[in-house]
Every structure is written in C-alpha cells, then in structure tokens.
Amino acid sequence: MIDIHKLNAFVVVVEESNISKAAVRLHMQQPPLTRLIKSLEEELDTALLKRLPRGVEVTEAGKALYQEAITILAHAQSIPKRVKNIAQGLEGQINIGFTNSAGLHPFLPAVLRQFREQFPAVAIHLEEDSSTALTDAVINEKLDIVFLRKPAPIHAEVQSIHVLDEPLIVALPSNHPLAEQEGSIRLLDLEPYEFVLYRRIAGQDLFDNILANCYQAGFNPNIVQEAPRLTSSLNLIAAGIGLSIVPASIQDFWNKQIVYKPLEAKKPCIAPIYAICRAKGNSVRVEHFLSLLKASQAV
C-alpha cells in the first residue's frame, strides 16, 4: 500500500515542477524529498519524473499517478470531517418503513420534509410492506423506524410511540342512497350495503380495525370485493361496486365519483398511527428523527 505522505510529496513536486521549491512548500530538506520520490518510483517500479537541469518533467506514468493521487488525497482529507458528521448524526442513512395506509397520511411526508431540511446530508431510504414484515425488519436491524396502524407486539427489543389518531370515515359511490344524507352516517346504517375493502394481507392493522368497529356496532360487513391496495379500493368504490370505511386522509387523494361522510358510532372510529423503533441502541440519526417526530406531535 502506497504511503499517503509519499503521494502528497509527489503531488507537490509535480505542481511545483521543481524539487527544491517543493521541499520549501513541504517544510523539509531537498535530499529527504528526493529520497521519498525515489522510494515511490521503486515501489511502483516505474519512472514518475524526468530530471532536468532546472527542474523535473512528469512522465506519462507520473501524470496518471498524479490524477489518482489528487482523488485519494481529497478523499483522505474529507475522512475526519465525515467521520465526525456521522458520529453527530449529520451524515449517513436512515431506513424508514410504512404500511400502505400509514404512508398515505400527510403527517409522514411532512416529517420527512422537515428532517431533510434539517439534515440534508442524511440519505433517506423508504420501504413499504406489511406490519409484520416491517416489525421484523426493525428487530433484525434492517429498518430504523416504521409507521404502522397499531402498536408493535410486546417485544423487549422494540418500542411503540403513538403518533396520532386519525378518524375513520365512510367512502360512498356518488350515486349511493346514503350519499345525499346530510351530516354524519351511523355505522350501523351501513349494515345492509355491500363493502369494498383492501386485502388483509396488504394492511392487516387497518383491515382488522375496520372489522372490529363493525362488530362493535353490531354487524358483520358484507365484503363483496377486496382490492390489492387502499388506493385501488377507491377505483372500485367510484365504479359503484360498494362502499368502504377509510382513513380520513384518503379523501385528499380521490374525490371524483366518491362522497365522503363522517362516521357516527358509540365509540369513536379511529385509525391510529404508531412509530416503531428499537428500544435501545439507535443511531444518532434515528434519535434526531425521533426528536423531530416528538416535536411535531407537540405543535
């Protein structure tokens, strides 16, 4: 491995085109510098400089080494600062996951935007998956923070932070009999109608939450169609195939041929969002994100 001090000396000699001038710039005597360059040439087994009466001329091999040396030295000079920045959480990467429905809430992009503004050198990797897969990814240290619609199962290695409670509303085809009704709709009044939900495997937490609310209201929803994603279910609702219960934020994505109404029930119908992360051993970057998350909740 080439000594970085030799590379630095070589670069200065090339830039000065004179060993004596280079020695002055390097604050060293000429003979030791000459020996340093000669040692480098012997190490590479090639002539890097052609000695002239009034200086030196760089050989073809020397020119190639000079370009490489400039890159290596620049990188070496940046290492201390980069290491310090990583230690302070100012550089590196943070890995964030979310379920389909949690990722649609405007809270998440707002927090991500704030984090990017405060820590622009930190790369953000995003991943969407099921709640089970995301929780496992946190436990296995493949993801740093994930956003789910329910707390993580009790586990010594993870913690659940409540972020918000989002109202559940009913999404109706625009020609549905209940679409003209003023105000909110009683959850039990949905019993006679056909439902469209997105598949449980795609969003277990929200799916189970919706069914639990229907059961508590006293009925089992008649699900006639399941969509692969929450947003896909809106197409089916707009087509008149059925109604659905969705997080309130979804109405910002689609309002053509769909009417949204508040839900009324004995118990408030909500879809919470939780941030799941490791209970200890988080990086400084993750702690920065958690601090920003908690500050956002306080606003």
Looking up tokens 């984090």, which residue turns up?
115
The predicted structure's pLDDT at residue 299: 41
Fold of 92-163+272-298: D-Maltodextrin-Binding Protein; domain 2 (3.40.190)
Looking up tokens 């409540």, which residue turns up?
162
pLDDT tens-digit readout, 24-46: 898 989 888 888 888 888 888 88
Identify the three-state secondary structure at position 273. Answer: strand
Pick the CATH number of 165-271 from 3.10.20.30, 3.40.50.720, 3.40.190.290, 3.40.50.300: 3.40.190.290
The CB density around residue 256, as the number of other CB atoms within 10 Å, is 7
pLDDT tens-digit readout, 196-255: 998 887 778 889 999 999 999 999 999 999 998 888 899 999 999 999 999 999 888 777
Domains 4-87 and 92-163+272-298 share a fold: no
Give the end-to-end CA distance of the chain in Å, rounded to a whole number.
Answer: 55
Domain boundaries, the chain: 4-87, 92-163+272-298, 165-271
Q: What is the rounded average pLDDT of the residues 174-190?
A: 94
State the architecture of 4-87 in CATH terms: Orthogonal Bundle (1.10)
pLDDT tens-digit readout, 117-138: 999 999 999 999 988 899 999 9
pTM (two decimals): 0.75
Question: Is 49:57 a contact under the CB 8 Å cutoff?
Answer: yes
- Identify the H or E element spanning 298: helix 284-298
Q: Which residues of 3-31 are buried (b: 16+ CB within 10 A; e: fewer)?
A: eeebbbbbbbbbebebbeebbeebeeeee
161: tokens are: 């932070």
